[in-house]
Amino acid sequence: MNYQVLARKWRPHNFTEVVGQDHVVKSLINGLLHNRLHHAYLFTGTRGVGKTTIARILAKAINCENLQDFNPCGVCNICRAIDEGRFLDLIEVDAASRTKVEDTRDLLDNVQYAPSYGRYKVYIIDEVHMLSGHSFNALLKTLEEPPPHVKFLLATTDPHKIPVTVLSRCLQFNLKRLLPAQILFQMEFILQKESINFEKTALKLLSRAADGSMRDALSLLDQAIVYGNGSVSEEEVRAMLGTVAQQPVDEILIALAQNDASAVLNKINEIANLTPDFNDVLNQILQIFHRVALIQQVPIAIDHDFNNDLITTLSCQLSPEDVQLFYQIGLVGQRDLSLAPDLQSGFEMVMLRMLTFKPLSSSQSTVTINTTKQTTSTPPAIKKNLIETKQMLSNLNIAKNDWLSMIIEMKLTGATKEFANNCVLENIDEKTCTLIADPDYIKGSRTLDILETALQNFCDAPIKLIIKSTKTALETPAIQLIKEQEDKQQNSIKAINSDPNIQALKDHFNARVLPGTIKPL
């Protein structure tokens, strides 16, 4: 019973075998090529993406007696010793189990001594963020001035817990989560080498369930092989993972596209009898919406891994706006699903929300447009409003102080609002708007363009803005606002001074109102 799990048996032994971390591998190989090796490397990333594996490969590469294209050869004495765990100059430590400062000091006591066999003495510290503060202080001194024969390779899933003084002394590489396609390709390769029968659709389910971790994927693959009695089939993998078959999900989407709420709820009740993971069901629906959106925008982007008939049907029945809306509702629903009283009711509410907020169908929009086109004359109410609007614009003048109210209605901000507040409205009609502005307040052309656009939107007419640059004695909105504020302040002071309660406090307690503390509400 010496079976070795796939995650260990197929662990990469050189840079070529590493999957999905090309940006890290390229940097390390170039460092070996130009002999520019840093004394401390920090590998970060989620679990199972290759942090410790790459550290071990690098440890072999810098000590290998016969590098092959800057890859460890795997056959020399040093490579074999490292693979078998008997290389004395490679010290590998799990920081999660050795967090005390005494452990770190014991570890570093032998740093000063030269390697016994290889070119470098290599320290691999896994989960380095688990070290205590004192342990980091003990490590920091060695990282500042390391002996030339020592290399530190640190790995962690949480770099934010590492002191910045340590981070600044390391060459940091962030390993990416692996894509489902990368995991799928590696699992296919392994199963072919192991001569195990498999269905590709089953591997797709496993690659998505791995959530970016190759180690998790191979662990799930091991489990699927045992569950399937030596083979990997889609039906067995779905049963193992507790996922719902694709057919019920397809039927839910068809009912959703047909705006049939009863059919949607009935199908949800059917799959509820299978005790599914509704998080997974919603995830499947989001994947299909993603494919539909791609096909609608880029018709050649056909993914043969999906049900092309379903994708084609949905892309015809749903508008791009509907697809984007449904996808966004599904994403938010996925986040809030755990907050629902139970997962089924939460999933039902997500589906009903898609139906509720679905825009009017294209046919309804067409009827409305056709009806509008058949109308040959403008309705009397609309015509009356247009006449009143034109009359209002033509009657605007300085005496009515309409410019201030227009500034408020246009919702101007920043420099444009400041400029408008320092202008006086001379005249406005259907074609032009003439403003008198002090030369000291005239802004750049961009400000004038923004103001002209705001006027056109406000009046719903292609009005041209004309600026007269001249000194004016008329009150601008800015002056009006200042005067209005001053009037409010004076009224507030009068109100406080005439308040009987304030007078009583002054008379009985010799109280006084502090200057500058009165503010208008």
pLDDT at site 173: 93
Q: 427 forms bridges with which residues in the sheet?
A: 434
How many Å apart are CA 247 and CA 244, to the nearest integer? 8
| Residue 1, pLDDT score | 52
DSSP reduced 3-state for 47: coil
Coil, strand, or helix at residue 152?
A: strand
Distance CA 230, CA 197 (A): 8
Higher pLDDT, 443 or 298: 298
Q: Are residues 437 and 495 in the same domain?
A: no
Whole-angstrom distance, CA of residue 163 vs CA of residue 180: 33
The first and second tokens of residue 258, run together, are 């047909």
Confidence check: pLDDT of 143 > 80: yes
Kindly write down the DSSP assignment for every residue of 491-521, as one continuous string. Answer: HHHHHHHH-HHHHHHHHHH---PPTT-----
- Would you say residue 43 has pLDDT above 90? yes
Which pLDDT score is estimated for 299? 73
Q: How is residue 514 written in tokens?
A: 């502090």
- 27 falls within a domain: yes
Contact 139, 148 (CB under 8 A): no
Q: Which is it for strands 423-428 and 432-437: parallel, antiparallel or unpaired?
A: antiparallel
User: Mean per-residue pLDDT for 319-326?
Assistant: 90
Same domain? For 352 and 409 the reply is no
Residue 174 per-residue DSSP state: E
Amino acid 203 reads: L
pLDDT at position 220 is: 92
The verdict on 39 and 98 lying in the same domain is yes
CATH number at residue 290: 1.20.272.10
**Paired tokens of 66:** 């016969």
Using the predicted structure, report yes or no on whether residue 113 has a pLDDT greater than 70: yes
CATH number at residue 118: 3.40.50.300
Quote the CA–CA distance of 257 and 267 in Å, as a whole number: 14
Cβ-proximal residues to 308 (8 Å cutoff; 6+ apart), any chain: 302
Please give the distance of CA 179 from its chain centroid, rounded to a whole number.
Answer: 16
Helix (H, G, I), strand (E, B) or coil at 489: helix
DSSP assigned state of 18: -
pLDDT tens by residue, 390-420: 454 444 443 344 788 888 888 888 888 888 8
Whole-number pLDDT of residue 96 = 80
Does residue 510 belong to any structural domain of this protein? yes
- Of 45, 61, 33, 48, the closest CA to residue 151 belongs to 61
Q: H or E stretch including 92?
A: strand 90-94
Q: Is residue 133 located within the same domain as residue 46?
A: yes
Residues 170 and 191 in one domain: no
User: What number of other Cβ atoms are within 10 A of residue 78's Cβ?
Assistant: 22
149 and 53, same structural domain?
Answer: yes
3-state helix, strand, coil in the chain (%, to 5): 60, 10, 30
Residue among 76, 84, 72, 75 nearest 28 (CA): 72
pLDDT score of 247: 67
> Does residue 380 lie in a domain region?
no
Q: Are residues 40 and 102 in the same domain?
A: yes
Closest CA to 56 of 68, 76, 74, 35: 74
What integer pLDDT is reported at residue 327 of this predicted model? 92
Separation CA 42–CA 128 (nearest Å): 9
Most confident of 144-158, 436-450, 467-481: 144-158
* Residue 297: pLDDT band with limits 50, 70, 90: confident
Cα separation, 176 vs 299, in Å, equals: 30
Same domain, 457 and 488: no
Tell me, yes or no, whether 287 and 351 share the same domain: yes
More confidently predicted of 325 and 387: 325
Q: How confident is the model at residue 303 (pLDDT cuts 50, 70, 90)?
A: low
What is the C-alpha separation between 438 and 472, in angstroms, rounded?
Answer: 7
Residues 6+ apart with CB under 8 A from 497: 513
362, 399 in Cβ contact below 8 A? no
Residue 244: the pLDDT is 55
How many residues does this entry show for the chain?
521
Element (H, E) at 68: none
pLDDT for the residue 389 = 47
Q: Which pLDDT belongs to residue 401?
A: 46
**Residue 259 maps to a domain:** no
Task: Compute the CA torsion angle 142, 147, 153, 155 (nearest 10 deg).
Answer: 0
Domain membership flag for residue 329: yes
**Residue 183's pLDDT band (cuts 50, 70, 90):** very high
Q: Structural domain tally of the chain?
A: 5
pLDDT value at residue 359: 66
For residue 506, tell me if it sits in a domain: yes
Confidence of residue 212 (pLDDT cuts 50, 70, 90): confident
Domain range for 463 is 388-474
Residue 360: pLDDT band (50, 70, 90) is low
Same domain, 26 and 116: yes
The residue among 174, 197, 212 that closes a domain is 174
Whole-number mean pLDDT of the chain?
82
196 or 512, which is more confident:
196
Q: Provide the strand spans (E) within 410-511.
A: 423-428, 432-437, 464-469
Residue 41 domain-assigned (yes or no): yes
Q: What are phi and psi of 361, to 5 degrees?
A: -70, 160
> Do 461 and 481 sit in the same domain of this protein?
no
Instruction: Name the percent of the chain lying above pLDDT 70.
Output: 88
Q: Is residue 423 part of a domain?
A: yes
Average pLDDT over residues 176-196: 91
pTM of the predicted protein model? 0.57
Q: What pLDDT, on the 0 to 100 scale, is given for residue 498?
A: 86
Q: Which of 118, 144, 174 is the last residue of a domain?
A: 174
Are both 43 and 186 inside the same structural domain? no
46-60, 308-322, 331-345: which has the minimum mean pLDDT?
A: 308-322
- CATH number assigned to the domain comprising residue 218: 1.10.8.60
